Chains A and B, each alone.
Chain A
């Protein structure tokens, strides 16, 4: 409770994205994750919103820096610029809307292309609480997930079911990949940073690189 922005300690920082069609409940998922409350009359997001939270994954403190993107097409140009260097993403559809499910392939292509090939994505079938209006079955979605190497969960931002799990599972997978060497946190645009707690010196070269990249920009 007592950490502040400046003094908080964590081992890793992961950049996360929340993507998916408009109205699938991306902001609500984020809100539920961070505030532990359901936001019942939220509106379309403008551009990009931001939230962060530190979670404990297998004994490691991981700070998630989550960019909640607008689902509407017209904001695509704004939101796309936030894809770069994301380590993980929640790809959200609405189980009561086949349209949002059908759009998944496009979102997935976008994410793999703009963010990184290695991005860890978890598919979230949101609005699990509205089972009566379901248009997408659990089975077909999980098949889709399998085919595309995604993790999969059905979530409910309303009840909070599986919300935290979605973020935690995604973070855990990234951690595993780091440990197995599959992901290199030092690589530029990996979306992963060491926290202040650990190995600050490892971050410095990255910083210097960033600086030089910026200098030649002018």
Chain B
């Protein structure tokens, strides 16, 4: 084994070392193969002389130093020389030389053997190489010849004829193309025809033709263009439906889609078109108005979003634009409605046709499917479209601040929207929450502003009011005022209050049925507008109403008409029972009045009262239209009353000096009410200082300044009983106003949401009902000034009461007092010539005067230092005289505080024990009066001891008082 390996190595090392120069390039030397082989032979012969034992030879070879087999070329001679020992011995050297020679011989032999072994293979290979060489030379000759031939061919032949061939081919292609072009030309002519047909809106025909063409030239791509063009046009035609539905038009379009087998697609498209139409319509309408108002053709608006566009609408164009918007939207919705209608009738007809036919069962099923799909889709679309419409209108509505709109304009906006909501109701049964919410928002905002202006105006009326009677007929009723006409309407139950002409018949005919074939519900509204604005404007004081006229005019001839007739007149005109009964009641009570000497029984009211009442009417109209903000409106309405009441009080009832006497002039209820009004409504700071801080500006915005009485009203003259006429007019007009509020209560109650009813009840029980209570403090001031009580006290002080005989003549202070009363009566009569003084008023006046007089009498009697029995009798005589004469002056019975005087006088006669009890029982007298009584009795029938006891008793009852 190891030999094979070594042998192998040895073979290659020889190749590189030994034959290195000789056989390095066999190919180049291949031309002389014989020489090489001869040289080798000689060498081999020499080697053969060496021992031939292969075994021994192998051993020799094995003994060769390893280094000789190395591949590296190294200097053998140098190597051997270096190996020489330092001391050279010839023998050893010779031995070594022989060994090397032996080794060389063995190697040479081995190599020669191996070469000999490969000799035949070498010869054979050489032969093959030679034959290959010959073959190659031949090939080279052929190639050269071929190239020469090709060159000749190329030069003389190919270039010309190949160009010819190519041209031929081109020609053939062009002939083909020409054919195609001719076909296309025909197709284009068809296209023209198609366009004509489309123009004529003969869609089915066009589609038919189209389909034929499609068959004829389906290979041409151009055709697809034509076809899609047709569909686009069809699409446009479909979109036209949205704006203006036309049955024949739509039928054609539908047929066309059927031919294309695209009924369902058409439906989807249709919905998209409607959505698009809504958007485009509103955008165009609003854009139109915005550009119109902007007055230039600036294109910047076109790029705006619809929402932003809406904010550019001016207040002037707001209403016409809204009306146009609704009109346009109505048309879209009507088109949708009619589309549905078309499908309904069409399906019915077709269904009938199919059932009678019954042949094409599969087709029928398909159409059935289509039909139900279409139906569903259409029904679903209803609410979607309405939602779209609502949102668009909402955006428009909220885009402008309406708070500065005129009342009638705003009402008109509401009317349009309520009509639109009616449309929505009919369209898809929607409650139009979106619209309602936006309307609510706008309404509250509007109303707040409206109310603020009205309050400000009311302030002006009040400050300019001279509290002159505004002459109206006795039969005057607020229902005659234009502002309250709606109440007659609303008496028939559940009639929509928004004055819609259609509402009466809406139960039978819907708007869609009504305007199906033309016209526009919003158009009619616009026509109505004139009429309505006039109505509402009348409410601004420019009356236009016959009834109202009759309430004021021809006053002078009025007195000729018997009372009964006048009442009948009221009945005829208003037919209103509650009012009649109210007015009758008041009439009755007024008839008894002493001081209604003139002007029958006309209600007492002022210009300002009328103004407030009208405002109330307007507010109520607002409430009817805007049920959702009814509470806000009633709240504001209550402020009108509050303000009026507060004004009357501050003008005529507030008087600090008299308030302090603590006679309980105003009830605690009245005081509470007045405080509440002052706190919630009156802005007391306004007149104080201009540098008031800006704190609570918002809060103050809701308030109104306190008021000042017109300078023309003089409350200081005794001749006019301290402005009694004005006081009566003011106070009684307030009472009248309260009566009107009472009359309206049931109506207000019905519109008030249940949760807010307590507010209304509270308003009535705490504010409205206190109106008549204002009479007391207001008239008391007159009573306190009308009679000179102080003068009487002075006169009484001069009277001698310890007389010894019974007098038959009363004292002069009684005459003086009576004179005062006579004068008061005279003045009262004079005032009543200007203003009718109602019985309750005269009663209060008399009562206060008499009460004050009687109290002054007691006070006078309590000032007496000394008194005899006879003197006491004189007091009785005086008082009797006073009563007798007084009862001739007034009808008031019983005379108030009569007992108060009599009891005090007579208490003088009581015995000690009785008096003690009496003192305890009569706490209405002051300590001073009681003490005086006891002191006066001293010396006649009360002794000192008893006096001490009685004074102690007075002290006792006095103490708990503190």
Cβ-defined contact, A4 with B553, below 8 A: no
0/1 string, B642-667, CB within 8 A of A gives 1:
00000000011011000000000000
Q: Could you say which residues of chain A place their CB within 8 Å of the CB of B607?
A: 46-48, 78
Distance in angstroms between the alpha carbons of A41 and B531 in the assembled complex: 11
If A4-B403, A27-B541, A46-B543 touch, whether A74 touches B555 (CB-CB below 8 Å) is yes
Q: Pick the contact of A6 from B456, B713, B715 — CB < 8 Å?
A: B456
Distance in angstroms between the alpha carbons of A2 and B314 in the assembled complex: 12
Q: Could you say which residues of chain A place their CB within 8 Å of the CB of B541?
A: 27, 45-46, 49-50, 68
Q: Could you say which residues of chain A place their CB within 8 Å of the CB of B471?
A: 74-75, 78
Q: Pick the contact of B404 from A2, A52, A208, A218 — CB < 8 Å?
A: A2
Cβ-defined contact, B470 with A46, below 8 A: yes
Q: Could you say which residues of chain B place their CB within 8 Å of the CB of A189?
A: 711
Distance in angstroms between the alpha carbons of A142 and B174 in the assembled complex: 100
User: Which residue of chain A lies nearest to B455 when distances are taken between CB atoms in the complex?
Assistant: A5
If A1-B315, A35-B537, A81-B468 touch, whether A217 touches B542 (CB-CB below 8 Å) is no
Distance in angstroms between the alpha carbons of A41 and B537 in the assembled complex: 11
Q: Pick the contact of B453 from A5, A74, A201, A204 — CB < 8 Å?
A: A5
Cβ-defined contact, B655 with A6, below 8 A: no
Cβ-defined contact, B708 with A81, below 8 A: no
Interfacial residues of chain B within 590-618, with CB under 8 A of chain A in the complex: 606-607, 610-611
Q: How far is the CB of B354 from chain A (nearest CB, A)?
A: 62
User: Which residue of chain B lies nearest to A218 when distances are taken between CB atoms in the complex?
Assistant: B655
Distance in angstroms between the alpha carbons of A81 and B726 in the assembled complex: 12
Cβ-defined contact, A81 with B453, below 8 A: no
Say whether B464 faces chain A, with CB atoms less than 8 Å apart.
yes
Interface residue range, chain A = 35 or more
Cβ-defined contact, B457 with A5, below 8 A: yes
Q: Which of B470, B652, B714, B723 has the most CB of A within 10 A?
A: B470
Say whether B781 faces chain A, with CB atoms less than 8 Å apart.
yes
Q: Pick the contact of A200 from B449, B460, B465, B690 — CB < 8 Å?
A: B690
Q: Pick the contact of A81 from B404, B472, B687, B712 — CB < 8 Å?
A: B712
- How many residues in B have their beta carbons less than 8 Å from beta carbons of A? 58
Q: How far is the CB of A176 from chain B (nearest CB, A)?
A: 26
Q: Could you say which residues of chain B place their CB within 8 Å of the CB of A208?
A: 687
Cβ-defined contact, A217 with B714, below 8 A: yes
Q: Could you say which residues of chain B place their CB within 8 Å of the CB of A6?
A: 452, 456, 701
Q: Pick the contact of A211 from B456, B606, B708 — CB < 8 Å?
A: B708
Cβ-defined contact, B687 with A43, below 8 A: no
User: Which residue of chain B lies nearest to A2 when distances are taken between CB atoms in the complex?
Assistant: B404
Cβ-defined contact, B452 with A43, below 8 A: no
Distance in angstroms between the alpha carbons of A68 and B611 in the assembled complex: 13
Pick from B57-65, B213-221, B544-552 the stretch touching chain A: B544-552
If A74-B471, A81-B466 touch, whether A5 touches B456 (CB-CB below 8 Å) is yes
Say whether B572 faces chain A, with CB atoms less than 8 Å apart.
no
Interfacial residues of chain B within 372-428, with CB under 8 A of chain A in the complex: 401, 403-404, 406
User: Which residue of chain B lies nearest to A43 when distances are taken between CB atoms in the complex?
Assistant: B543
Q: Could you say which residues of chain B place their CB within 8 Å of the CB of A4?
A: 403-404, 449, 452-453
Q: How far is the CB of A211 from chain B (nearest CB, A)?
A: 7
Q: Pick the contact of B468 from A40, A77, A188, A214 — CB < 8 Å?
A: A77
Say whether B349 faces chain A, with CB atoms less than 8 Å apart.
no
Cβ-defined contact, B544 with A41, below 8 A: yes
Cβ-defined contact, B715 with A42, below 8 A: no
Distance in angstroms between the alpha carbons of A44 and B714 in the assembled complex: 30
Distance in angstroms between the alpha carbons of A129 and B781 in the assembled complex: 56
If A39-B537, A214-B708 touch, whether A50 touches B457 (CB-CB below 8 Å) is yes
If A47-B607, A200-B690 touch, whether A82 touches B464 (CB-CB below 8 Å) is yes
Say whether A84 faces chain B, with CB atoms less than 8 Å apart.
yes
Q: Pick the contact of B543 from A5, A42, A50, A204 — CB < 8 Å?
A: A42
Q: Could you say which residues of chain B place their CB within 8 Å of the CB of A78?
A: 466, 468-471, 607
Distance in angstroms between the alpha carbons of A3 and B544 in the assembled complex: 30
Q: Could you say which residues of chain A place their CB within 8 Å of the CB of B709?
A: 214, 217
Q: Pick the contact of A39 from B315, B403, B534 — CB < 8 Å?
A: B534
Say whether A132 faces chain B, with CB atoms less than 8 Å apart.
no
User: Which residue of chain B lies nearest to A77 when distances are taken between CB atoms in the complex?
Assistant: B468
Q: Could you say which residues of chain B place their CB within 8 Å of the CB of A39?
A: 534, 537, 542, 544
Interfacial residues of chain B within 469-518, with CB under 8 A of chain A in the complex: 469-472
Say whether B556 faces chain A, with CB atoms less than 8 Å apart.
yes
Q: Could you say which residues of chain B place their CB within 8 Å of the CB of A28?
A: 542
Distance in angstroms between the alpha carbons of A39 and B403 in the assembled complex: 24
Cβ-defined contact, B715 with A218, below 8 A: yes
Q: How far is the CB of B731 from chain A (nearest CB, A)?
A: 14
Q: Pick the contact of B711 from A1, A67, A74, A84 — CB < 8 Å?
A: A84
Interfacial residues of chain A within 155-207, with CB under 8 A of chain B in the complex: 188-189, 200-201, 203-204, 207
Q: Which of A75, A204, A217 has the most CB of B within 10 A?
A: A217
Interfacial residues of chain B within 695-730, with CB under 8 A of chain A in the complex: 701, 708-716, 723
User: Which residue of chain A lies nearest to B834 when distances are taken between CB atoms in the complex?
Assistant: A77
Q: How far is the CB of B268 from chain A (nearest CB, A)?
A: 46
Say whether A31 faces chain B, with CB atoms less than 8 Å apart.
yes
Q: How far is the CB of B271 from chain A (nearest CB, A)?
A: 41
Q: Could you say which residues of chain B place their CB within 8 Å of the CB of A103?
A: none
Q: Could you say which residues of chain A place their CB within 8 Å of the CB of B549?
A: 43-44
Q: Could you say which residues of chain B place their CB within 8 Å of the CB of A48?
A: 607
Distance in angstroms between the alpha carbons of A158 and B403 in the assembled complex: 28
User: Which residue of chain B lies nearest to A207 when distances are taken between CB atoms in the complex?
Assistant: B687
Distance in angstroms between the alpha carbons of A3 and B464 in the assembled complex: 23
If A35-B537, A39-B542, A67-B464 touch, whether A47 touches B610 (CB-CB below 8 Å) is yes
Cβ-defined contact, B711 with A210, below 8 A: yes
Cβ-defined contact, B781 with A218, below 8 A: yes
Distance in angstroms between the alpha carbons of A218 and B659 in the assembled complex: 12
If A4-B403, A50-B457, A217-B715 touch, whether A27 touches B542 (CB-CB below 8 Å) is yes
A-B contact sample (17 more), CB < 8 A, given A5-B456, A78-B607? A4-B452, A6-B701, A35-B406, A42-B538, A42-B544, A43-B542, A46-B610, A48-B607, A49-B540, A50-B611, A77-B469, A81-B712, A188-B711, A201-B690, A203-B690, A204-B687, A204-B689
The 10 closest A-B pairs by CB, nearest first: A81-B466, A47-B607, A49-B541, A5-B456, A5-B453, A217-B715, A43-B543, A42-B542, A200-B690, A78-B468
B-side residues, CB < 8 A to A, are 315, 401, 403-404, 406, 449, 452-453, 456-457, 460-461, 464-466, 468-472, 534, 537-538, 540-545, 548-549, 552-553, 555-556, 606-607, 610-611, 651-652, 654-655, 687, 689-690, 701, 708-716, 723, 781
A-side residues, CB < 8 A to B, are 1-6, 27-28, 31, 35, 39-50, 52, 65, 67-68, 74-75, 77-78, 81-82, 84-85, 188-189, 200-201, 203-204, 207-208, 210-211, 213-214, 216-218
User: 27 A-B Cβ contacts within 8 A?
Assistant: A1-B404, A4-B403, A6-B701, A39-B544, A40-B534, A41-B544, A42-B543, A43-B543, A43-B544, A45-B541, A46-B470, A46-B543, A49-B540, A49-B542, A50-B460, A67-B464, A81-B468, A81-B712, A84-B712, A204-B687, A204-B690, A207-B687, A210-B711, A211-B708, A214-B709, A218-B654, A218-B715
